[in-house]
C-alpha cells in the first residue's frame, strides 16, 4: 500500500510534490535548533518541528515514508527518550508519509478529525487518486477544534483553522518556546497551494493567516509548511500579498470575467517573479483563488 500511495503521489501531484521528485534516498534530514528544546527538521516535503526534553520527543509532521528511518535517527540524536507523539498539520502525503513507521514504532498520532477521515479513504489530489493510508498511519487521537499537549515544560496548543489549505489544517503553538508551526497555511517565499478538492479556500486561508498573527508576537519563530523559518512580520506581509491578489481577482470575477479572462489580466503580476516560479505558478494561484471565492 505504501508503494502504491507513493506512486500515486509521484505521478500525480506534480506541483504539490515538486518537493518529492528528488531522489529521496539521497535526502538528508537537517536539524536546526530553534528555542527552548524545539528544533526545525527539514529534508524533503513539509517542514517539521521536534520538541525534545524530559518527557520525551514529539514531532509535528513527518514528510515521506522513505525518509521515516532518517527522521527517527535525527530525532534520536536530540534525545534518547522515546518518540511519543506525532502531530499532523494536515493530511497531505508530504506531511504524513512517515506516520505508518512512527505509529508502528509506538508514537501516538494526533490530527484534526478530517485528517483521519481523508486518510482513511482514497482522496482526489490535483485530479488523481491517492490510495487510503495503512491503518497504522491513521491518527489515533483526533480533535474538532483545539487540543493541548503538556510536555517538556511547555504547553503546546493545537488550533484547527477551517477550510484554509485543506479542511483539516492545524496551527501549533509552543507557548513557552514561542514557536508557531503554521503548516501549509504559510508557504514562505513561494505561492501557496490551496487544495480546493480537500476543502481549502482563499478566504479560509486568509482567516488562518490572521489566526497565526493573533497567536504570535514580534519574537515568535514562525515555521511555514514550506520555505525557511520566518517571523510575524513576514507572515503579515504574506497575508497582505494574498489579500491584495484575492481582492483584485474578486473584483474581476464580480465584473463577470471568466477564469481565462482573469488569468489573462495577470492580477498577481506584482509578485509573480518573486513567488510564482518555485512551485505554484501564477495561473494556478489565480485559478485556486477564483474558484474558491
DSSP letters, 153-183, are TEEEEEEEESSSSSSSEEEEEETTTTEEE-G
How is residue 140 written as a grid cell? 489515533
Please, which residue, 53 or 189, has the CB nearer to Zn ion? 189
Please, which residue, 52 or 125, has the CB nearer to Zn ion? 125
Beta carbon of residue 3, minimum distance to Zn ion (angstroms, whole number): 21
Please, which residue, 154 or 184, has the CB nearer to Zn ion? 184
Q: What is the rounded CA–CA span in Å between residue 186 and residue 227?
A: 9
Beta carbon of residue 200, minimum distance to Zn ion (angstroms, whole number): 9
Beta carbon of residue 10, minimum distance to Zn ion (angstroms, whole number): 16
Q: What is the rounded CA–CA span in Å between residue 136 and residue 116?
A: 11
Q: Quick one: residue 246, left, alpha or beta (phi over 0 = left, psi -120 to 50 = alpha)?
A: alpha
Please, which residue, 55 or 184, has the CB nearer to Zn ion? 184
5 interacts with Zn ion by CB under 5 A: no
Q: What is the rounded CA–CA span in Å between residue 223 and residue 188?
A: 9
Beta carbon of residue 145, minimum distance to Zn ion (angstroms, whole number): 20
Secondary element (H or E) of residue 123? strand 123-125
How is residue 45 written as a grid cell? 516535503
Number of residues that bind Zn ion (CB under 5 A): 2
Beta carbon of residue 97, minimum distance to Zn ion (angstroms, whole number): 12
Beta carbon of residue 92, minimum distance to Zn ion (angstroms, whole number): 4
Please, which residue, 50 or 130, has the CB nearer to Zn ion? 130
Instruction: Mark 82-101 with x for binding to Zn ion (rule: CB under 5 A) and - for no binding.
Output: ----------x---------
Q: Are 241 and 271 in contact (CB under 8 A)?
A: yes
**Binders of Zn ion in range 218-257 (CB under 5 A):** none
Please, which residue, 92 or 116, has the CB nearer to Zn ion? 92
One of 55, 100, 169, 184 touching Zn ion (CB under 5 A): 184
Interface stretch with Zn ion, choices 124-132, 184-192, 196-204, 276-284 (CB under 5 A): 184-192
Q: What is the rounded CA–CA span in Å between residue 58 and residue 95?
A: 14
Q: Which residue ranges make up the site for Zn ion (CB under 5 A)?
A: 92, 184
Amino acid at each position: 500500500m505504501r508503494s502504491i500511495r507513493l506512486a500515486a503521489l509521484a505521478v500525480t501531484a506534480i506541483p504539490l510534490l515538486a518537493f518529492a521528485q528528488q531522489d529521496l534516498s539521497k535526502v538528508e534530514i537537517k536539524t536546526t535548533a530553534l528555542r527552548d528544546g524545539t528544533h526545525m527538521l527539514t529534508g524533503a516535503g513539509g517542514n517539521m518541528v521536534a520538541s525534545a526534553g524530559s518527557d520525551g520527543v514529539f514531532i509535528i509532521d513527518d514528510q515521506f515514508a522513505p525518509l521515516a528511518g532518517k527522521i527517527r535517527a535525527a530525532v534520536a540524536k536530540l534525545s534518547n527518550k522515546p518518540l511519543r507523539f506525532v502531530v499532523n498539520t494536515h493530511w497531505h502525503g508530504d506531511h504524513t508519509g512517515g506516520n505508518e513507521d512512527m505509529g508502528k514504532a509506538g508514537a501516538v498520532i494526533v490530527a484534526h478529525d478530517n485528517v483521519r477521515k481523508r486518510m482513511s479513504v482514497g482522496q482526489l489530489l490535483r485530479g488523481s487518486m491517492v490510495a487510503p493510508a495503512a491503518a497504522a498511519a491513521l491518527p489515533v487521537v483526533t480533535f474538532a477544534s483545539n487540543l493541548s499537549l503538556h510536555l517538556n515544560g511547555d504547553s503546546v496548543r493545537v488550533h484547527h483553522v477551517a477550510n484554509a489549505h485543506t479542511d483539516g489544517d492545524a496551527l501549533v503553538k509552543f507557548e513557552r518556546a514561542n514557536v508557531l508551526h503554521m503548516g501549509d497555511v504559510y508557504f514562505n517565499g513561494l505561492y501557496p497551494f490551496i487544495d480546493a478538492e480537500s476543502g481549502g479556500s482563499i478566504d479560509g486561508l486568509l482567516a488562518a493567516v490572521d489566526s497565526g498573527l493573533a497567536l504570535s508576537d514580534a519574537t515568535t519563530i514562525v515555521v511555514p509548511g514550506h520555505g525557511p523559518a520566518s517571523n510575524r512580520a513576514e507572515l503579515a506581509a504574506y497575508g497582505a500579498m494574498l489579500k491584495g491578489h484575492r481582492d483584485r481577482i474578486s473584483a474581476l470575477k464580480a465584473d463577470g470575467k471568466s477564469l481565462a479572462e482573469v488569468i489573462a489580466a495577470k492580477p498577481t503580476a506584482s509578485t509573480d517573479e518573486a513567488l510564482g516560479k518555485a512551485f505554484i505558478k501564477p495561473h494556478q494561484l489565480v485559478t485556486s483563488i477564483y474558484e474558491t471565492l
